[in-house]
């Protein structure tokens, strides 16, 4: 089985709220002080779509999947889905963090 990578996030020093960087003000307590943190790289599909008409610079990547991924009780990430195979993904499906790059966060479907 694959080793699960951790997801880089930031944590409010004052109240512990997690956020996706860059974060300048904590949505919970309005603090401006954050530390880097890592969380377990597992999540579930909250919602998803397939992009068939892409914005400039992404036309050569269509079709590609984008999902809202719940990774913590109060943290949802917009992410690309690594497409190892041409199959649909379902709401509630388990995902594993793959990487973060200049395009954002990437997840892949967890093996069953």
**Chain segment 78-108, per-residue pLDDT in tens:** 999 997 666 789 999 999 999 999 889 999 9
Domains of the chain: 6-109 (2.40.50)
Residue labelled with tokens 């943290």: 75
pTM of the predicted structure, to 2 decimals: 0.87
Asked whether 36 and 10 are in contact (CB, 8 A), the reply is yes
Do 89 and 81 meet the contact criterion of CB atoms below 8 Å apart? yes
Q: How confident is the model at residue 2 (pLDDT cuts 50, 70, 90)?
A: low
pLDDT the model gives residue 84: 65
10-69: pLDDT as tens digits:
999 999 999 999 999 999 999 999 999 999 999 999 999 999 999 998 889 899 999 999
> What does each C-alpha distance from 106 to 11, 38, 61, 64, 65 come to in angstroms?
20, 15, 14, 12, 10
């Amino acid at each position: 089985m694959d080793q699960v990578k951790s997801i880089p996030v930031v944590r409010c020093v004052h109240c512990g709220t997690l956020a996706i960087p860059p974060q300048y003000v904590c949505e919970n307590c309005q603090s401006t002080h954050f530390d880097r943190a890592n969380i377990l790289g597992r999540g579930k599909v909250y919602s998803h779509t397939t992009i068939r008409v892409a914005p400039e610079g992404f036309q050569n990547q269509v079709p590609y999947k984008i999902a809202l991924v719940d990774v913590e009780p109060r943290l949802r990430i917009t992410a690309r889905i690594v497409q190892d195979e041409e199959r649909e993904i379902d709401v509630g499906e388990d995902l594993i963090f793959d990487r973060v790059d200049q395009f954002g966060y990437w997840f892949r479907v967890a093996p069953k």
